[in-house]
Amino acid sequence: MKKAGKLSVAALAIVAITLGGGYIWIQRTDTDESQLRLYGNVDIREVQLAFRQPGRIAEMTFDEGDTVLAGTRMAVLDDQPYRDALASADASVQVAQAELTKLRSGLRPQEITQAQEALKQARAVAVNTERDYQRQSSLVASGASSRRTVDAARAARDQAAAAVASAEAALSLAMEGFRQEDIAAAQAHLAATQATRAQTATALTDTELLAPSNGTVIARVREPGSMVASQSTVYSLSLDQPVYVRAYVAEPDLGRIAPGTRVRVTSDSSDKVYHGQIGFISPRAEFTPKTVETTDLRTDLVYRLRIVIDEADSDKGLRQGMPVTIDVDTHADSSIPNRSN
């Protein structure tokens, strides 16, 4: 009887172990490896709008909460100083253009004629001084002329010859026109004034602050009449598109996702399901941020990923920092190990 009792206990133990093992196996195989749930927060991009130029604000068009479209004029600076600067730049361009045109055209016909007549006059004086010198030299032997007179006549002749050479050079310059180096310098000066003018025109355009994208004004920082420096924030704008979700995936699940994987996103504030796809997975591991609501240990290493919500689904229901739940259809294939076995 004792042996029979021992055999019965052993048999029951074997059956219990077998059934228990089967129960554990069933529990493991019931795990759905094609589903992965992640947790994250909505990450909507914000833009700090500012003028590129300093000045006094003349107009502020929108208030906090207003919706704006891309290209809408949101604020304007007093543009009178910039208009004055543009007028001055236009005048400088005109002066430089006139100077270049003058150099390219050369001297006027009247100036060339004047140079020709000056040469004729110099040659006539040279002929007269040469004759006087010859006459005075011939009279020295007879004593009718002194050496001093001859020397004076020689000096006058040489001076007249130099005047002829100078007049000939002046006429040559008048006929040839200005030097190419002078023309090149004038061209460079014109280009510099045109660049200054373009820069001034850009500064005038920058007195208008335009919305870079569709969005919602979340902060109006300045008021009309305020003096602002360059790059001083005037508005804070929350962009409508794109809408991102920042989430984290544990290292064991990293092989189950990839850029382009489709996801479903839900929040606690509504029953709407948002669709999107994984757009980026960080190549660097980091510790789980305390803001991520997961059931895993906080010290586990995770990888940050970014989910892009489909434009057709995104609406005002997703707001900056809102916690959301992400369900991923991983569709694990044979190349991914079955962790339930």
Q: Domain limits at 184?
A: 86-202
Same structural domain, 108 and 184: yes
pLDDT band for position 288 (cuts 50, 70, 90): low
pLDDT digits (tens, 9 = 90+) for 320-337: 888 999 999 776 443 333
Q: Residue 24 pLDDT > 70, yes or no?
A: no
Residue 301 within any structural domain of the chain: no
For the whole model, what pTM was predicted?
A: 0.61
Q: Residue 10 pLDDT > 50, yes or no?
A: no
Q: What is the pLDDT of residue 230?
A: 92
Residue 157 within any structural domain of the chain: yes
More confident residue, 152 or 81: 81
Residue 109 within any structural domain of the chain: yes
Same structural domain, 136 and 118: yes
More confident residue, 141 or 181: 181
Residue 326 within any structural domain of the chain: no
Amino acid at 338: N
Same structural domain, 232 and 198: no
Is residue 274 within 8 A of residue 312, CB to CB? The reply is no
Among 236, 255, 278, residue at a domain's last position:
236
pLDDT digits (tens, 9 = 90+) for 170-217: 777 666 666 788 888 999 999 999 999 999 999 999 999 999 999 999
For 145, the token pair is 């002329």
Q: What is the pLDDT of residue 59?
A: 96
Question: 23 by DSSP, 3-state: which?
Answer: helix
More confident residue, 266 or 153: 266
Same structural domain, 50 and 186: no
Q: What CATH number has the domain bearing residue 225?
A: 2.40.50.100
More confident residue, 155 or 30: 155
Provide the domain count of the chain. Answer: 2
CA pseudo-torsion sign 14, 15, 18, 21: negative
CA pseudo-torsion sign 88, 90, 93, 94: negative
Lowest mean pLDDT segment, chosen from 59-73, 88-102, 134-148, 311-325: 134-148
More confident residue, 59 or 319: 59
Q: What is the pLDDT of residue 287?
A: 72
Same structural domain, 51 and 153: no
Amino acid at 216: T
Same structural domain, 145 and 175: yes
Choose among 257, 208, 265, 211: nearest CA to 235: 211
Average of per-residue pLDDT across 219-238: 95
